[in-house]
Amino acid sequence: MGIISSKLGNLGVVTTTLDQAINWGRTGAMWPLLFGLACCAIEYMSTQASNYDLSRFGMELNRASPRQADLLIVSGRLTRKMAPVVRQLYDQMAAPKWVIAMGDCASCGGVYNNYAIVQGADEIIPVDVYVAGCPPRPEQLLHGILTLHEKIKGESIRDWAAPVETIRV
């Protein structure tokens, strides 16, 4: 005790709320699901790669398993054939979990108002942040991620205490 306190000096006391401390942890190290659908996934890869370096925001680690991920970035056009798969991936993720709809297609169907494309990922899963662009620039995606961080900072752990309802598709 004596040695530690003499080395560290007088640290004082930090007071914070549990919500703030937990949200700080949640935003500082999000694990996105390693998941790409179409063109936007390539820009997502650019965001992770050397120039934009997503690890600055604690997100360099993509988990290939939805069980270990807490952020689903729907990067690309969502087809009717793929929709049940994405819904299942979302259901498999453990709460708390968030969704970013990256690109026009994932946000609203984009230019494809036709038989094949789901008109926005929010038709099958709840979306937290929409990022516009076809494809969005890496800066735009970064902005989307930071917006999500802001949103998370306003959340309370009580919000996630109730079990999330799952829907079978």
Partner 1 sequence: MALQTAANTNDPMAEWAGSLEQLKGLVTERALTGETMLLNMGPHHPSTHGVLRLLLELDGEEVITCLPDIGFLHTGIEKNIESKSYEKAVPLTDRMDYLAPMSNNTAYCLAVEKLVGLQVPERAQIMRVICLEMTRLNSHLVWLGTHAIDLGAMSVFLYCFREREELLKMFEMLSGQRMMGSYMRPGGVWRDFPPEFLPMLENFLGYFPSRVDDYEALLTKNPIWMDRTQGVGVIEPEKAMAWGVSGPSLRGSGVAWDLRKSMPYSGYDMFDFNVPVGEHGDVYDRFMVRIREMRESVKIMQQAIKRLPAKGPFRSDNRKFVPPPRAELGQSMEAVIHHFKLWTEGFAAPDEEVFVAIESPRGELGCYLHGTGGNKPRRVHFKTPSFMHISSLPVMTHGHLIADLVAIVGSVDVVLGDCDR
Cα separation of 47 and 53, whole Å?
6
Partners of residue 98 on adjacent β-strands: 71
Is 132 among the residues that bind ligand SF4 (CB under 6 A)?
Answer: no
Cα separation of 39 and 108, whole Å?
15
- Give the start-end residues of each E strand in the chain: 71-75, 98-102, 129-131
| Beta carbon of residue 39, minimum distance to ligand SF4 (angstroms, whole number) | 3
Is 70 among the residues that bind ligand SF4 (CB under 6 A)?
Answer: no
Cα separation of 30 and 97, whole Å?
10
Is 49 among the residues that bind partner 1 (CB under 8 A)?
Answer: yes
Is 45 among the residues that bind ligand SF4 (CB under 6 A)?
Answer: no
- Which 137-166 residues touch partner 1, going by CB under 8 A? 137
Residue 4, both tokens = 């530690």
By CB under 6 A, name the one of 33, 62, 77, 149 that touches ligand SF4.
77
74's enclosing H/E stretch is strand 71-75
Cα separation of 31 and 100, whole Å?
13
Is 34 among the residues that bind ligand SF4 (CB under 6 A)?
Answer: no
Binding span for ligand SF4 by CB under 6 A among 18-26, 54-62, 86-94, 99-107: 99-107
Is 105 among the residues that bind ligand SF4 (CB under 6 A)?
Answer: yes
Q: Which is nearer to ligand SF4, 71 or 152 (CB)?
A: 71
By CB under 6 A, name the one of 32, 36, 110, 144 that touches ligand SF4.
110
Cα separation of 30 and 123, whole Å?
24
Is 32 among the residues that bind partner 1 (CB under 8 A)?
Answer: no
By CB under 8 A, name the one of 19, 22, 31, 34 that touches partner 1.
34
Dihedral of the alpha carbons of 129, 39, 42, 63, in degrees to the nearest 10? 60
Residues in touch with ligand SF4 (CB under 6 A): 38-40, 76-77, 103-105, 110, 134-135
